Structures are given as C-alpha cells and as structure tokens.
Chain A
Amino acid sequence: MDTVILISQIIMGLALVLTFVRVVRGPSLPDRVVALELFSTTVVGLVGVYAIQSGVASFLDAAIVIALMGFLAAIGFARFLERGGPRDD
C-alpha cells in the first residue's frame, strides 16, 4: 500500500509540474485561471492521498477548504475579467 501511495503521489506531483508550466507559459489570463483551478483540484487530491498515508482523517477538512478557495478564486477572476479593469497578460 505504501508503494501505491508513493506512485500516486509521484504521478500527481508530475501533474502539478505540467500545470505549472501552463501557468507560466499561458498566452492569456483565462488560460492561467484554468491552470490555477486545475492546480487547486490536484492539491485536493494530494491532500486526500496524504490523509490516507498519515491516517489522520482531519486532513479532509483542509481538502474541503482548499476546494472552496479554488472555486471562489475562479469565480472572482472571471468577474474581474468580465467587468474589465487594467489587464496585463
């Protein structure tokens, strides 16, 4: 079971690296917002795996909060994009 957890953590770490490449390279601001949302979703998965690894179920509360924060950030960025304002991609 420890090996499986390690493999899944490595896979998700690789996913985080690929997402970060898109955050850096992304040609426009909406692309970066999409990448940041995927970032938060992947971190929710990592926290779930870490809860299994450590045996502490309270980490799932942190996962709920991270998911909520990611959703609110996406909504806020979209409002900001749509309502205008100074923008520098």
Chain B
Amino acid sequence: MIEFIKGTLLITGASFMLLAAIGLLRLPDLLTRMHATTKAAALGVVLIMLASAMHFAEVGVVARSFAIIVFILITAPIAAHVIGRAGYFVGSRLWSGTVKDELRPNYDPLTHELKSGLETHENAKRHPRATDPD
C-alpha cells in the first residue's frame, strides 16, 4: 500500500514538472510563463518530497522533507513576484491578446509615480465638516 502511494506521488509530481516545462515552452509571454512554472513546479516538488518522507519514515528525514516543502512554498511566490516586477519595469512585451493592464494608465515609468486612478477635480476639493477643529 505504501509502495502504491509512493509511486503515485512520484509519477504525479514528475508529471506536474513536465507540465510546467510544457507551459514554459508553449505560453506566449513572460507573465503567463511564470503563471505556469511557479505553481506547477512547486506542487511537483511538494509531491516528490512527500514521497521521500514516506519512503524513509524517520523523524530527521521527514523533518528535512517538510523543510524543503515549506522553503519551496515560501520562496516560489517571492521569486515570481520579484521577476515579474523586474520584467514589467524592463518593459517585456505583453501578449497581443492581453485584455487588461491596469498598471499602464496609472504608472509613470520615468518618475516611478503611481496614481490611484481616483484623482479627479471633485475628489481634490476640500469639504470641511462642522466637527473639524479650526
């Protein structure tokens, strides 16, 4: 039974890694490629490390396997965020089918100034209330 679970975990984890590689190869631009690799590869490592923890079944090895799992789950989103941010600043091209880029109209790449999108003249006016201190 343990062997069967181990084998299933190994094959599934390896398949998720192959899926991440296929997504990296096939998808059209940087952000969609990161969307494929980050999640699928992290899930693949988690499954393989679970298999190794079940294989050895000692306290020290299980602790190390779970350390790898926690480390991958913490670092993969951070690395993806940092690379995506750098890629956007460098000006990597988005896919031609992109429907929404909310940063484009509100962000000035020269001054790094970010607007909230609510800067109208009506919002800039002051509306004093009766309870305000003079």
Number of A-B residue pairs with CB-CB distance less than 8 Å in the complex they form: 163
Nearest residue, chain B, Cβ from A64: B68
Find chain A residues with CB under 8 A from B6 CB: 1, 4, 52
Q: How far is the CA of A61 from the CA of B63 in the complex (A)?
A: 11
Tell me if B109 is interfacial: C-beta within 8 Å of chain A.
Answer: no
Find chain B residues with CB under 8 A from A41 CB: 17, 20, 37, 41-42, 44-45, 72, 76
Q: How far is the CA of A30 from the CA of B85 in the complex (A)?
A: 10
Interface size of A as a range: 35 or more
Tell me if B114 is interfacial: C-beta within 8 Å of chain A.
Answer: no
Find chain A residues with CB under 8 A from B67 CB: 64
Q: A1-B3, A11-B14, A57-B56 are in contact. Are A68 and B71 (CB under 8 A)?
A: yes
Mark contacts of B13-42 with chain A using CB atoms, 8 A cut-off: 1 yes-contact digit, 0 otherwise: 111011011101100001001100100011
Mark contacts of B70-85 with chain A using CB atoms, 8 A cut-off: 1 yes-contact digit, 0 otherwise: 0110011011001101
Q: A8-B10, A14-B18, A78-B82 are in contact. Are A44 and B72 (CB under 8 A)?
A: yes
Find chain B residues with CB under 8 A from A14 CB: 18, 21
Q: How far is the CA of A48 from the CA of B45 in the complex (A)?
A: 8
Q: A52-B55, A74-B79 are in contact. Are A45 and B48 (CB under 8 A)?
A: yes
Nearest Cβ distance between residue A6 and chain B, in whole angstroms?
10
Interface segment, one of B87-95, B96-104, B120-128:
B87-95
Q: Are A51 and B52 in contact (CB under 8 A)?
A: yes
Interface residues of B (CB under 8 A from A): 3, 6-7, 10-11, 13-15, 17-18, 20-22, 24-25, 30, 33-34, 37, 41-42, 44-45, 48-49, 51-52, 55-56, 58, 60-61, 64-65, 67-68, 71-72, 75-76, 78-79, 82-83, 85-87, 89-90, 92
Interface residues of A (CB under 8 A from B): 1, 4-5, 7-9, 11-12, 14-16, 18-19, 21-22, 28-31, 33-35, 37-38, 41-42, 44-45, 48-49, 51-52, 57, 60-61, 63-64, 67-68, 71, 74-75, 77-79, 81-82
